A and B are shown apart, each in its own frame.
Chain A
Amino acid sequence: SQTIHQWPATLVQPVGSPLSLECTVEGTSNPNLYWYRQAAGRGLQLLFYSVGIGQISSEVPQNLSASRPQDRQFILSSKKLLLSDSGFYLCAWSAHSGRETQYFGPGTRLLVL
């Protein structure tokens, strides 16, 4: 069966510090991968998606970046965090057909102070 991992579960970082969140998927190959952010009391905002190694599409302009160095690994990064980067970051995967169900990781709760 497929599983998706995210770490860390929670993170408190000072403004201006770098960020690296990792997501890995097991039990499937060539998945579509997604990064979302959910601010407190708000809906899901798609940040990035990837249909293959090295292929990243950005949905919103921001100071975050994403990379996919391996088929089942998706990394979200920032060189300098802003207060507004605080939120609940969720990684998700779906089968490559694009119309399939998305499955979410447990998320990383980030607080930027």
Chain B
Amino acid sequence: RKEVEQDPGPFNVPEGATVAFNCTYSNSASQSFFWYRQDCRKEPKLLMSVYSSGNEDGRFTAQLNRASQYISLLIRDSKLSDSATYLCVVNGGGGSYIPTFGRGTSLIVHP
């Protein structure tokens, strides 16, 4: 089983739609969780951290389920500019300095 798994997609949705991505992780000792966004031919950029209680930033909501070992990202009212690859990142566990990246989920928002 891969350490961090994501559905590669692509998720093809119309503007205004709500879309959700899940990401599962295998290391139960993991301590911090993030979602990154990567545009084509660009570097990944932090979208948001994921907290145990769940957190929201505008149209974006992130949730963490430690019991089932997954995190989710919900995007409401999708915009064309949301088209990108979304990377799930899991960090920590045993003092590790090494974050583990998922391979990303591709989102295409069309008019």
Binding site for B on A (CB under 8 A): 32, 42-44, 46, 49, 51, 59, 88, 90, 94, 98-107, 109
| A43 lies within 8 A of B32 (CB) | no
Top 4 A-B residue pairs of the complex, sorted by shortest distance between their CB atoms: A43-B103, A104-B43, A98-B97, A99-B92
| A90 lies within 8 A of B97 (CB) | no
Give CA–CA (A98, B99) in the complex, Å: 8
Q: Are A49 and B98 CB-contacts (below 8 A) given A98-B92, A99-B92, A109-B41? A: yes
Q: Are A101 and B92 CB-contacts (below 8 A) given A42-B103, A49-B98, A106-B43? A: no
Question: Could you say which of B89, B99, B101, B103 has the most chain A C-beta atoms within 10 Å of its C-beta?
Answer: B99
Q: List 11 A-B contacts (CB under 8 A).
A: A32-B97, A42-B103, A43-B103, A44-B44, A49-B97, A98-B95, A98-B96, A101-B49, A102-B46, A102-B89, A102-B99
Q: What 0/1 readout, one digit per residue, does chain B (5-34) give for beta carbons within 8 Å of chain A?
A: 000000000000000000000000001101
Give CA–CA (A48, B91) in the complex, Å: 16
Give CA–CA (A42, B99) in the complex, Å: 17
**Which residues from B are CB-within-8-Å of A59?**
98
Give CA–CA (A27, B84) in the complex, Å: 29
Using a CB-CB cutoff of 8 Å, which residues 42-98 of chain B contact chain A? 42-46, 49, 87, 89, 91-92, 95-98
Give CA–CA (A26, B34) in the complex, Å: 23
Closest to B104 in A: A43
| B31 lies within 8 A of A99 (CB) | yes
Total cross-chain contacts (CB, 8 A): 46
| B102 lies within 8 A of A103 (CB) | no
Give CA–CA (A59, B44) in the complex, Å: 20
Q: Per a CB cutoff under 8 Å, which of A88, A99, A107 touches B91?
A: A99
**Which residues from A are CB-within-8-Å of B97?**
32, 49, 51, 94, 98
Give CA–CA (A102, B32) in the complex, Å: 12
Give CA–CA (A59, B41) in the complex, Å: 24
| B98 lies within 8 A of A104 (CB) | no
Q: Are A46 and B98 CB-contacts (below 8 A) given A99-B31, A99-B32, A101-B34? A: yes
**Which residues from B are CB-within-8-Å of A90?**
43-44
